[in-house]
Amino acid sequence: MYLQRYGNAMSVSQQQLEFAEKALAAYGNILATIEPSFYGLPLSKLPYTVTEIKDSIYTVLNTIDNNQKQIIDSLTNAYMFLGQFISDDEVFIVQQALAHLKTSNKASSDTNDIELAGFITSKIKIKMENNLEEIQLFLSERIELKK
């Protein structure tokens, strides 16, 4: 878990902060240009890895005051939103299943892709919930450390 990676360390190097700001600016630009989708977004759209973006969020959170609620909320949402990014292959499976459902007037005998798409979308929901729990845990620990 990422919280353990940072532990009680509240200091951030200038190099870490510069990378974090660059990564989050690029990630923010991506978020500004795409529509949220519970059907998944391709990982290939991300400018950095999920881990690099999560680490960047932690880095910035370690540098701001607890009273900067708007920034904290934005970073929390950005962290949670990472759960919507899945492999490009999974996005394709979900899109194919949706297209099949939209064009099919009767039940198909081949429901494998539709079932798989259901599992993928369930996985997205779980990833988003887990991300929210992770960041909330981090924030609660951070608040305790800054008291």
CB atoms within 10 A of CB 73: 10
Confidence label for 37 from pLDDT (cuts 50, 70 and 90): confident
- Indicate the pTM of the whole model: 0.85
Tens digits of per-residue pLDDT, 80-91?
999 999 999 999
Q: Would you kindly state where each structural domain of the chain is located, as residue ranges? A: 2-86+128-146
